[in-house]
Amino acid sequence: MKFIHTADIHLDSPLVGLSAYQDAPADLLRTATRDAFTRLIDDALTESVDFMVISGDLYDGNWKDFNTGLFFVREMGRLRRAGIPVYLLLGNHDAESEMTRKLQLPDNVFVFETRKAHTLYLEAHKVALHGRSFKDAATTDNLAATYPAYAEGYLNIGMLHTALEGNAAHANYAPTSIAELEAKGYEYWALGHVHEHVIHRGKSTIVFPGNLQGRHIRETGPRGAVLVTAEGNEIRSVDRMLVDVLRWHALDVDVTEADSFGDALAAVGRALDQVVADGADGRPLALRVTLQGASPAHGALFGLEAQLRAEVLALATALGSDRVWIEKLKVRTTPARTASRLAERSDALSDLQTLLAEAPQSTEFLDSLLPDLQAMVNKLPLDVLKSMPELERIRSGDLSALLDDVTPGLLAHLASAGEAR
């Protein structure tokens, strides 16, 4: 017996911040969650699975476009024609969705009720499927404690949308623990809510399949569902089914040895070549490139993130414009020269360092800067403001922290410029 376990599909989840980049592959990103789900349905048909379980967050909150729901119904219709039933648990995002309450689903889709946990018996496969949907988005009760007792003579599968213990990165909804889940005696727990792929093999097999498609840089690496194979009341295998259509990747580049802007760019180029050579199962890549290290090139890179991103984007285009997109480039280098070495100089640069070191404590100086800086920043697009923490600090009036951040790069830039002359 085979079934697919998926969760956290977030159909048509809006991608934030893309308007800041005219070169973004907007069409691909806009349809990525749908395309990944279609791939999953294709795989379900190819594998001739016995059923599918969806452990919450099919939708993405209070998303009012009913075309999203109609797309889901259409894909369920494909499974219906193949005789494949689907068991759907509503998660925190589904509890907010109008489509959850109003959309008429095909008769092969069964939705767990919100009032209490209950069991569906799939007699053809001797499976007892236990679950309870979220009624409210912020469900913080321990739902697992209310789940039915073990059903003898059946393969017991528990469906639950939960943060589980130790997942601090996710809202603490329907909290429970591995020990509590195992105490139920179910052979398999089909979990949702945590977007990373996690498998616990103990008294019970406890699985987060992860989400189907990474939607931003915090969701890097392969994404998909799992194909579970069982015999009798034993789980034989849990295999990943990778269905993502675009993959996010954080590329950290060490430029410690770079002496110039050109050297740093060359280091990024080599790193890009390696990422492309390693491949992403043939999928396009969305990269966030971060330059790191105590580098002599720190001053030459100061304030040039936009130019550097354009140069790196050109390198990526040469590798194949449909294969690599640079989502963002960040310079997180530090000066190779220490502040104490600059202080040893007896010139205008050391005087400037002293002035900048004292500036954060000078209220009068900061107050004189703030109006002009805020007037400039308030004219910028919102996406640009969100992409640069330094600009947000100006808006909030926090110039002390801004000076602390900018000073090392500015001094390094002036020092390298002076040496170049």
Which domains does the chain carry?
A: 2-242 (3.60.21.10), 246-336 (no CATH), 343-421 (no CATH)
Q: Please state, in angstroms and rounded to a whole number, the distance separating the CA atoms of residues 106 and 231.
A: 29
Q: What is the pLDDT of residue 411?
A: 47
Per-residue pLDDT at 168 = 45
pLDDT at 394 over 60: yes
Per the CB < 8 A criterion, the answer to whether 169 and 158 are in contact is no
Question: Pick the residue with more confidence: 6 or 70?
Answer: 6
Tens digits of residue pLDDT in 249-286: 999 999 999 999 999 999 999 999 999 888 778 888 88
255 and 290 in contact (C-beta within 8 Å)?
no
Considering only residues 60 and 160, tell me which one the structure prediction assigns the higher pLDDT. 160
Instruction: Establish how many alpha carbons lie within 13 A of residue 287's alpha carbon, considering only the half-sphere containing its beta carbon.
Output: 32
Burial of 340 (0-12, 13-18, 19+ CB in 10 A): exposed
Q: Please, which residues have CB within 8 angstroms of residue 199's CB and are 6 or more apart in sequence?
A: 205, 206, 207, 208, 238
CA distance 180 to 145: 8
Q: Report the share of the chain in percent with pLDDT over 90.
A: 48
User: pLDDT, tens digit, for every residue of 172-183?
Assistant: 677 889 999 999
With bands split at pLDDT 50, 70 and 90, how would you rate the model's confidence at 325?
Answer: confident
What percent of the chain clears pLDDT 70, i.e. is strictly above it? 73
Task: Decide if pLDDT at 342 tops 70.
Answer: no
What mean pLDDT, rounded, does the chain reach?
A: 82
Q: Is the dihedral of CA 40, 42, 43, 49 positive or negative?
A: positive
| pLDDT recorded at residue 349 | 41
Is it the case that residue 358 has pLDDT exceeding 70? Answer: no
Report d(CA 26, CA 321) in Å as an integer. Answer: 13
pLDDT at 408: 58
Query: For position 107, what pLDDT does the model report?
Result: 96
